[in-house]
Amino acid sequence: MIFLKKTLILIFLALIIIILCQNKSQKVIIPKESIRIRIIANSNNNVDINQKLKVKKEVETKVYELLEGVKTIDEARTIINNNLDNLNISLEDSSVSFGYNYFPKKVYKDIIYEEGMYESLVITLGKGEGDNWWCVLFPPLCLLEENENTKDVEYHFLVKDIIDKYIINHR
């Protein structure tokens, strides 16, 4: 009886994994309580795009150092607000906004991120008429971008939670 119960649970989990993998273009992996970061280029010419990437690297490094070890979104908000003037943006013609800002729809690694107003740190370079780069600042999900050669999205957190809850804890 116990073997049959565990087998049914494993089949159920396998079906969930298959459904998640087939419908991943409809899944959003950004937590509700999150803070995004967005950097908008002055224009789409090569000089401005390279400048955006340079600013991205500078700001990303600084902000992640500031948020290292932060556990709550409230703590992250406080640290970001207290350090807006210390982001060391290398351009004079730029603006920084922290609060609720508009984000356009984005498809990335087969995931659809809907447009809307999101809590975020937005840095606009020049006129802000170029392409933008954005990611999740808190929790630090930008680390998922390290492997740019894959379109895979890891759902292991959900699967691990289910396995822990229904299999390991019911032994």
Tens place of pLDDT per residue across the chain (171 aa): 777 777 777 787 776 777 666 554 445 578 888 999 999 999 999 999 999 999 998 888 888 888 888 999 999 999 999 998 887 666 678 888 999 999 988 887 777 888 999 999 999 999 999 999 988 888 887 744 443 444 444 444 445 555 555 555 544
Q: What is the pLDDT of residue 164?
A: 55
Can you tell me the distance from the alpha carbon of 48 to that of 41, in angstroms, rounded to the nearest whole number?
6
Q: What is the pLDDT of residue 168?
A: 52
Cβ of 136: how many Cβ atoms within 10 Å?
A: 21
CA distances from 157 to 9, 19, 111, 141, 162 (A): 17, 15, 17, 13, 9
Q: What is the pLDDT of residue 101?
A: 94
Q: What is the pLDDT of residue 166?
A: 52
CB 66 within 8 A of CB 83: yes
Q: What is the pLDDT of residue 93?
A: 82
Please identify which residue in the block is written with the tokens 């159920």: 12
Q: What is the pLDDT of residue 122?
A: 94
pTM for the full predicted model = 0.66
Can you tell me the distance from the alpha carbon of 148 to that of 65, in angstroms, rounded to the nearest whole number?
23
Secondary structure of residue 94 in the 3-state scheme: strand
Please identify which residue in the block is written with the tokens 């995931």: 111
